[in-house]
Structure 1
Amino acid sequence: MIVVSFIVVLGILIFVHELGHFLVAKWLGVKVEKFSLGFGPKLFGRTIGETEYLISAFPLGGYVKMYGEGGFSEAELVEQTSTETAETAAEPVEPPQPIDEARSFSHKPVWARMAIVLAGPAFNMLFAWLLLITLYLVGMPIMKATIGEVFKDKPAAVAGMQKGDRITAVDGHPVVQWEDFSSRMATVRGEVTLSIVRNDHPLTITLVPQAGESKNLFGETVQKPIIGVSPSYEFATERFGLLDAVRMGNAKAVEVTKLTVLSMVKLFQGVVPLKTVGGPLMIADMADKAAKTGGATFFMLLAVVSINLGILNLLPIPILDGGHLLFYTIEAVIRRPVPQKVREYAQQAGMLLLICLMVLAFYNDIVRYFFSKG
């Protein structure tokens, strides 16, 4: 089951990513020669129209091969044919085929090439956004903003808050779930007014939080206003109207995007240790647990991983989409392509870096799941 969950999650996200490249390339008139889910040896393939659709052996990625993507010119083909003619002496050689510049990726203007490359990560982000909105429409499990415990002598207890109180607003801002309450309280400075419901009766409580400290997701100590309550950990499935679903889907997508970017920054800064980097085994484990928990949890994971994949591909590392975008940006500024040798060396360095990251991720997975205590 864990293998199936892994293949489903990765397969969907890779398909969405490559579909972005494919559709925008076709829209801009570029001939797509191959569309592959996976790398390596072909397991299954079928040619429809001018494109061969493949399922390949290694499911850790995919690719769209476009006509002229490597870059060529007719002069280069003539030179290559002449060399082959000299080497094979009297053997007949077919004349070079003329290049269809209108269908060639490398002959498209730089803005078109950038659009095709950017489409992959953009489709991952768009897919996650639509998925989140759909989840809020059909039903999202949320933790209720209900008080589970009120701590003695803290501002909430002094103000008269009780176990079972349901918080509905903070300083007039509506609260639907505990996450809303926590987010609002994190920005409070000074006195705060809480709207609550107790035994079906609305009440208003005003209090002044204490200054306190807590650990954030990255293990850093941060200042945080404290009123002295904890949640009841009650969950409910909430369905929202279209406008509310779009608003909450937008907010969640922005939140996950910011957290992903911040996590990467903290990783490079050394705040987040390298041992937290996860690989295929971590994704497989998370996908399996999410599938067992329920549909909404699984699709939430799918949205989060899709955003992560989109942002990761935008990193300016040669061989990733972000690396290609960097080269095309330079080309747009200097008005000529980056020299082929420079691109080749940069891509080799990028490949080495990715291999190192994959080895690190696999190592962390093995230690985490096979050698960690407990």
Structure 2
Amino acid sequence: MSWIVDFIVVLGGLIFFHELGHFLAARMLGIGVKTFSLGFGPRIAGFNWGATNYRLSLIPLGGYVSLAGEEREMSEDNGFTEKELFMSRPPWHRMIVVAAGPIFNFVLAWLIFWGIIISNGQMGLAPTVGQLQPDSPALKAGIEVGDKVLSIEGHKIIFWSDLAQTIQNSKSDTLDFVVDRDGNIKEFSIKPQVQELKNIFGETIRRPVVGIVASGDSKTIEMDGLNGAVAAAEQTWTVTKLICTSIVKMVERVVPMDSIGGPIMIAQAIKQQSERGLLELLQFTAFISINLGLLNLLPIPVLDGGHLLFFSLETILRKPLNEKLQAAATRMGLLLLLSLMAFAIFNDIVRTMSSK
């Protein structure tokens, strides 16, 4: 049952880091913080340090940072000065504090990827030809199984993903391949052909291909601190783009709505990754952290993205938004969020029951 501990640590760590972003941004700007809580609901344990109460609360599905003067009509807040009140600050100060939570989720993912790369190297599929499709351009050009692709059109190929991306993004009619065949360097000119393929979302797309299949061999590249940091940033950006695309495809109904998961699915996934090892668990944690950051940036009232929308409109209009309108939007946002959570939990239950 050690995966339960992993679940608590992963979920608690993600919540802590998100709320830490809000907290640090507020304190750096001199805004008072009343409460820093892991979890919602009744207080289980905690302590006071300075003007802030740090607490662990009963319901572990989130957390919050309570700022001094979050309500505009409040001129005083438990001894905090006017300068320390959140709503007395200009909108851009408030936007920094709100955005810091999601940003810290991306920072956490980047740190995890960076740590993995520094300690284990950057891993990926080797650009080694494992199979040639019949009558393919590569076969006709003379490529053989076992060839290691070194470069395409002068672009250095390190992993198979580099190879696929270079071919797909190329606008040339003919691609110059440089390969290593048993220690001998050979060059080939290959004219790709356009084929209809299925992408990861099941859509039919047209892409240039040369007709080679990866061998499936893995490859690890050791990196120093700086190069590892850059590679981790690139990996964070790649995962972010993938998740954003998935959200768009879900809205377009390309990705089925029953793929939405809630806490049960997350717990099951953490259990699976925990059984595979620490490396897989850390990678999954980074993936979930990016998901959490993007989710909170959605322009839905009660989420950070909704607050950013309100403060942006206040900046544009140069006056506070109507409080009744904000309250109504917040209630609608809360209803939408609760409905989405209920739907996700329903999917979790159906998925769990069908798997038995």
TM-score relative to the length of structure 1: 0.88
Match of 1:333 among 316, 324, 339: 316
Per the alignment, residue 182 of structure 2 pairs with 199
Report deviation, 1:27.
0.9
CA contact (8 A) 1:5 1:284 kept: no
Report deviation, 1:361.
1.0
Render the CA deviation track for 1:106-158: whole Å, top value 9, x for unaligned. Answer: 21121111111111111111222233233222223322122221223212222
CA distance in 1, matches of 2:299, 2:240: 17
SS for the counterpart of 1:222 is strand
| Matched residue type, 2:26 | A
For the structure 1 residues 175 and 20, does the alpha-carbon distance in structure 2 shift closer, same or farther, using more than 3 Å as the test? same
CA contact (8 A) 1:166 1:196 kept: yes
SS for the counterpart of 2:139 is helix
For the structure 1 residues 296 and 276, does the alpha-carbon distance in structure 2 shift closer, same or farther, using more than 3 Å as the test? same
CA contact (8 A) 1:167 1:194 kept: yes
Per the alignment, residue 261 of structure 1 pairs with 244
Tell me which stretches of 4 or more aligned residues in structure 1 moved more than 6 Å: 96-99
Report deviation, 1:161.
1.8
| Matched residue type, 1:72 | E
For the structure 1 residues 5 and 98, does the alpha-carbon distance in structure 2 shift closer, same or farther, using more than 3 Å as the test? closer
Matched positions, count? 353
Report deviation, 1:7.
2.0
CA distance in 2, matches of 1:36, 1:15: 9
Per the alignment, residue 118 of structure 2 pairs with 137
CA distance in 2, matches of 1:362, 1:73: 38
- Runs of 5+ consecutive residues of structure 2 not aligned to the other structure: none
- Runs of 5+ consecutive residues of structure 1 not aligned to the other structure: 78-95
CA contact (8 A) 2:68 2:80 kept: no
Q: Which has the larger radius of gyration?
A: 1
Per the alignment, residue 53 of structure 2 pairs with 52
Render the CA deviation track for 1:184-226: whole Å, top value 9, x for unaligned. Answer: 1211342112222121222222211221111112211111122
Per the alignment, residue 31 of structure 2 pairs with 30
CA distance in 1, matches of 2:85, 2:103: 22
CA distance in 2, matches of 1:172, 1:284: 45
For the structure 1 residues 101 and 225, does the alpha-carbon distance in structure 2 shift closer, same or farther, using more than 3 Å as the test? same
TM alignment of 1:151-300, pairs within 5 A: 151-189=133-171, 190-300=173-283
Report deviation, 1:319.
0.1
Report deviation, 1:313.
0.8
Q: Is it true that 1:107 corresponds to 2:108 in the alignment?
A: no
Report deviation, 1:228.
1.8
Per the alignment, residue 360 of structure 1 pairs with 343
| Matched residue type, 1:124 | N
CA distance in 1, matches of 2:264, 2:181: 46
CA distance in 1, matches of 2:20, 2:98: 11
Report deviation, 1:321.
0.4
| Matched residue type, 1:166 | K
Render the CA deviation track for 1:252-304: whole Å, top value 9, x for unaligned. Answer: 22222222222222222222221111211222222222233233322222222
Residue identity over aligned pairs, in percent, reads 40
| Matched residue type, 2:69 | G
CA contact (8 A) 2:95 2:311 kept: yes
Per the alignment, residue 88 of structure 1 pairs with none
Q: Using the TM superposition, name which of 20-29 and 123-132 deviates more.
A: 123-132
Q: Using the TM superposition, name which of 263-272 and 292-301 deviates more.
A: 292-301
RMSD of aligned Cα (Å): 2.0
Per the alignment, residue 81 of structure 1 pairs with none
